[in-house]
């Protein structure tokens, strides 16, 4: 075999290497994007404003009326803060920037509890502000209920008791 006979194979080899390298690079970029989004999620929910707001919302009784929330400016602001964060998460899950189960493990309980307490308020605000108010917050809560992460029904402390590092 003459060395010039190997030239087509060299080109083919270069193309295959480029495809493999490109595929690995795209996968690495997707993983980096996913990890960055997850870190941003944690950063978003670990601040004083959100902490104070979520504390107020989870302490609301489920039967709290929309007027109850409207009459208390601090509570109304807490509803907007919590709603805005969960609205943003809903959009990120929808566009698959964040995985639904990751969001469920991190804040799924808070989303479910908050939606149960704020649903009447959000629906009443839609009368004045339109059907898109809180739409992604509701969508996220609905998706978490429809597709819960494994173990969510019993809690991580029970579901993953046999987990080992």
Torsional sign, CA 96, 139, 108, 92? positive
Is the same domain home to 51 and 27? no
The whole-number average pLDDT for the span 57-62 is 94
Q: What is the pTM of this model?
A: 0.77
Is the same domain home to 28 and 94? no
pLDDT band at residue 4 using 50, 70 and 90 as cut-offs = low
Show the beta-strand stretches assigned E in 49-104.
Answer: none
C-alpha span between 77 and 62 (Å, rounded): 18
Is the same domain home to 22 and 101? no
Most confident of 20-24, 141-145, 161-165: 141-145
| Number of folded domains that form the chain | 2
Q: Establish if 136 belongs to a structural domain.
A: yes
Q: Establish if 8 belongs to a structural domain.
A: yes
Q: Establish if 39 belongs to a structural domain.
A: no
Q: Establish if 165 belongs to a structural domain.
A: no
Q: Establish if 42 belongs to a structural domain.
A: no
Asked if 112 contacts 145 with a C-beta cutoff of 8 angstroms, the reply is yes
Q: What mean pLDDT is reported for the chain?
A: 87
143, 91, 119, 62: CA torsion to nearest 10: 70
Q: How far does the chain reach from its first CA to its final CA, in angstroms?
A: 55
Is the same domain home to 25 and 90? no
| pLDDT value of residue 153 | 87
> DSSP for 102-127?
HHHHHHHHHHHHHHHHHHHHHHHHHH
| pLDDT value of residue 104 | 96
Residues in the chain: 165
The SS3 of residue 34 is helix
Asked if 136 contacts 82 with a C-beta cutoff of 8 angstroms, the reply is no
Q: Establish if 76 belongs to a structural domain.
A: yes
Q: Establish if 40 belongs to a structural domain.
A: no
The whole-number average pLDDT for the span 21-35 is 67
Q: Is the pLDDT of residue 123 over 70?
A: yes
Residues 6+ apart with CB under 8 A from 60: 69, 75, 117, 118
Is the same domain home to 64 and 5? no
Give tens-digit pLDDT for 79-108: 999 999 999 999 999 999 889 999 999 999
Percentage of the chain surpassing pLDDT 70?
A: 74
Q: Establish if 164 belongs to a structural domain.
A: no
Q: Which domain holds residue 25?
A: 1-34
């Amino acid at each position: 075999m003459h060395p010039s006979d190997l030239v087509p194979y060299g080109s083919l080899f270069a193309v295959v290497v480029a495809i493999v390298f490109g595929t690995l690079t795209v996968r690495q970029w997707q993983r980096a994007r996913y990890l960055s989004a997850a870190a941003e999620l944690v950063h978003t929910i670990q601040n004083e404003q959100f902490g104070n707001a979520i504390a107020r919302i989870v302490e609301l009784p489920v039967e709290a009326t929309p007027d109850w929330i409207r009459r208390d400016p601090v509570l109304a602001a807490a509803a907007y803060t919590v709603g805005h964060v969960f609205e943003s998460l809903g959009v990120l899950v929808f566009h698959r920037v964040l995985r639904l189960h990751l969001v469920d493990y991190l804040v799924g309980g808070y989303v479910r509890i908050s939606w149960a307490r704020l649903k009447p308020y959000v629906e009443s605000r839609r009368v004045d502000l339109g059907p898109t108010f809180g739409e992604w917050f509701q969508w996220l809560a609905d998706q978490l209920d429809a597709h819960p992460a494994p173990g969510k029904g019993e809690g991580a402390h029970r579901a993953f008791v046999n987990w080992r590092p």
